[in-house]
Chains A and B, each alone.
Chain A
Amino acid sequence: EPEVTQTPSHQVTQMGQEVILRCVPISNHLYFYWYRQILGQKVEFLVSFYNNEISEKSEIFDDQFSVERPDGSNFTLKIRSTKLEDSAMYFCASRELGSYNSPLHFGNGTRLTVT
């Protein structure tokens, strides 16, 4: 069964550094998402992306965050200047259809640790 893949599985960075989290969504999916999960807490929506542009973003997704689909297969999340509170699991997800009936398919996540 096709799956969403994320790299790296664990990223450690110093405060103020830039990080790029990478995702390869399922190949025939058209809608892409980033969520984050701070340890032991709820899964929070960050951003959705369709047709090479952001379709919706949360208030968490401020100017320090950006997303890109550089080459038709990868989908990246960049944090320009990391803060301690950015430490979390970041999950990429994709969806075949835009209908809210269709489920999201998640990757296994990247654990980001900011020191």
Chain B
Amino acid sequence: GNSVTQMEGPVTLSEEAFLTINCTYTATGYPSLFWYVQYPGEGLQLLLKATKADDKGSNKGFEATYRKETTSFHLEKGSVQVSDSAVYFCALGNRDDKIIFGKGTRLHILP
């Protein structure tokens, strides 16, 4: 079946540090991959997506590349800010109707 595994948190970094949050997936066929972000007290917001192999999704300085050979979709940002503190969810959409989510990674940025 389909599943998403992402690195355990919390991740604590200093402002301007480089960020990587690892995500790997298991799926049949050619899923679409997403990163969602959840700020405190809010719902999930789409951060970026990629719909086929080698696509790179990007938004707000975050990037992730769909790597079919390693079944990965790692989230990266070159220089994080305090305002990036949130919970990040890797997610997968496949031929059925739903999107499934990883367990989430809490990111805490220190000023």
Contacts and interface: CB of A to CB of B under 8 A. Distances in A.
Interface in A50-81: 50, 55-56
B102 A42 contact: yes
A100 B43 contact: no
Main secondary structure of the interface of A (DSSP, over half): strand
Nearest to B47: A103
Contacts of A107: 43
B46 A43 contact: no
Contact of A100 (B42, B89, B93, B104): B93
Chain A CB within 10 A, most for which of B49, B89, B101 = B101
B45 A100 contact: no
Contacts, number: 58
A109 B43 contact: yes
Interface string B41-71: 1111110010100000000000000000000
A13 interface: no
Nearest first, the 9 closest Cβ-Cβ pairs linking A and B are A100-B93, A106-B43, A43-B101, A42-B103, A103-B46, A106-B44, A48-B97, A108-B43, A56-B97
Interface residues of A, number: 25
Contacts of A35: 101
Given A100-B31, A109-B43, 10 more contacts: A4-B43, A41-B103, A56-B96, A56-B97, A91-B43, A101-B51, A103-B49, A106-B45, A107-B43, A108-B43
Interface of B: 31-32, 34, 36, 41-46, 49, 51, 89, 93-104
B44 A100 contact: no
B94 A100 contact: yes
Contacts of B51: 101
A101 B98 contact: no
Given A41-B103, A42-B103, A100-B32, A48 B43 contact: no
A66 to B, nearest CB: 18
Contacts of A109: 42-43
Contact of A33 (B32, B45, B98): B98
